[in-house]
């Protein structure tokens, strides 16, 4: 019953999200022998205005 969450910058399209769900599930199952059907993956998009490092939003870091 593992649950895998992926937080990443918004902007990836539906096909890329399909691949992430598939490949991350495969990776977990390769590592553990778990059945893919037991693995949940949830993707969360985060805006670059709402994610910062070094005290600066990535939206502003990228501009510099």
Known catalytic residue: 2?
yes
52's CB contacts (< 8 A; 6+ apart) are 58, 61
Q: Beta 3-9 vs 40-46: how paired, if at all?
A: parallel
63 near a copy of itself (CB under 8 A): no
Region of residue 33 (phi > 0: left; psi between -120 and 50: alpha; otherwise: beta): left
54 near a copy of itself (CB under 8 A): yes
19 near a copy of itself (CB under 8 A): yes
10 near a copy of itself (CB under 8 A): no
Which residues here bind a copy of itself, judged by CB under 8 A?
A: 1-9, 12, 14, 16-28, 30-32, 36-37, 39-46, 49-58, 60
């Amino acid at each position: 019953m593992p649950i895998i969450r992926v937080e990443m910058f918004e902007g990836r399209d539906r096909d890329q999200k399909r691949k992430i769900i598939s490949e991350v599930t495969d990776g977990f199952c390769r590592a553990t022998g778990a059945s893919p059907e037991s693995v949940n993956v949830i993707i969360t998009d985060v805006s670059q205005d709402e994610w910062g490092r070094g005290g600066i939003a990535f939206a502003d870091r990228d501009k510099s």
